[in-house]
Structure 1
C-alpha cells in the first residue's frame, strides 16, 4: 500500500483532473472518521460521474482498511470501491507501483465483508457490498446490476418476468 506520505500521490490525477491532496483526505478519513464533507471530497476526487483517476486506485486499499477498522460499514466506502472497479476498464491504466495492492484489495473484498462484525446492513450497503463481491469474482455485469438497481427496480423487473 502506498504510504500516505509518499510524494507520488501528487503525481496521480484525480477523477476531475484537479490538483488535490487525496493522501491527506484519506489520512483524515482514517484518523477522524467519515464526515459528510470528507465523503463529498471522496466522491469528487476519486469517482466523479463515472470517471476515475490514477489516485483512485491508490485510495482503494485505504477504503478497504476503513471498512476493516470500522464497527459499522459506511455505504460510501463500499460504493466507492465498487464504482472505481466498475470504471477501471475505461479509466486510466493502473500505475505499475499500485497494480498489486489494488488487485489484491479487490480480490480480498469478499473476505473483508464477510468477516466484518456488523451483521445487519441497510439496503444500499448490501447492494454495494454485493457489487464488490461480484466484481472480486470477475462478474462485472452482476457487479453493475447490484450497484445500480434498487430494490424497487428489481421488484419491477421481476414482476415483468412473471407476467
Structure 2
C-alpha cells in the first residue's frame, strides 16, 4: 500500500477522470470514522456510474483495512470494494505499483469477512459481503448478482422458477 501521505496519490485519476488526493479522504475515514459526507465523496470519486480510476485501486486496501478494524461492518466499504472489482475489466489497468496491495486486499476478503467479529449483518451488508467473497474467488457473475439483486428480487425470481 502506498502511504496515505505519499505524493503519488495526487497522480492517480479518479472515477471522473480527474486527479484526486484520495489519501486525505481515506485518512479522514480511518481517523474520524465514517460519515455520510465521506461515503458520498467515496462514491463520487472512487466509483461513479460504474466508472473507476487508478485511485480506486489504491483505495481498496485501505477500505479492506477499515472493514477489518471496524467493530461493525459498514456496507459502504464492501460495496465500494465490490464495485471497483466489478469495474476492473473495463476500467484502467491496475498500476504495477498498486497491483500487489490491491490483489492481496481482494484475496483477503473471504477470511476477513468469515472471521469478522460482527455477526449481525443486515441484508445489504450480507449481500455486499457475499459479492466480495464471490469476486475474491473469481466468480464475477455471482459477485454481480449479489451486488445487484435484493433478497426480495431473489425471492421473486425463485417463485417464477416454480420453486
In the superposition, the TM-score normalised over structure 1's length comes to 0.98
Partner of 1:81: 81
1:136 lines up with 2:136 in the alignment: yes
Shift of 1:52: 0.2
Match of 1:21 in 2: 21
May I ask how many residue pairs the two structures share in their alignment? 163
> Which residue is 1:123 aligned to?
123
- For the 8 Å contact 2:5–2:23, the answer to whether it is kept is yes
Give 1:95's aligned residue: 95
Looking at structure 1, the residues matched to 156 and 80 of structure 2 have their Cα atoms a distance apart, in angstroms, of 26
Question: With structure 2 as the length reference, what TM-score do the two structures score?
Answer: 0.98
Q: CA deviation at 1:162?
A: 0.8
Q: Distance in 2 between matches of 1:68 and 1:119?
A: 13
Say whether the 8 Å CA contact 2:11–2:19 is kept in structure 1: no
Q: Deviations over 1:7-37 (max 9, x none)?
A: 1111100001233321100000000000000
Give the unaligned 5+ runs of structure 1: none
1:25-60, Cα deviation, whole Å (9 max, x unpaired): 000000000000000000000000100000000000
Q: Give 1:115 deviation, angstroms.
A: 1.2
| Structure 1 stretches of 4+ moved >3 Å | none
Counterpart position of 1:53 = 53
Q: State the match for 2:68 in structure 1.
A: 68
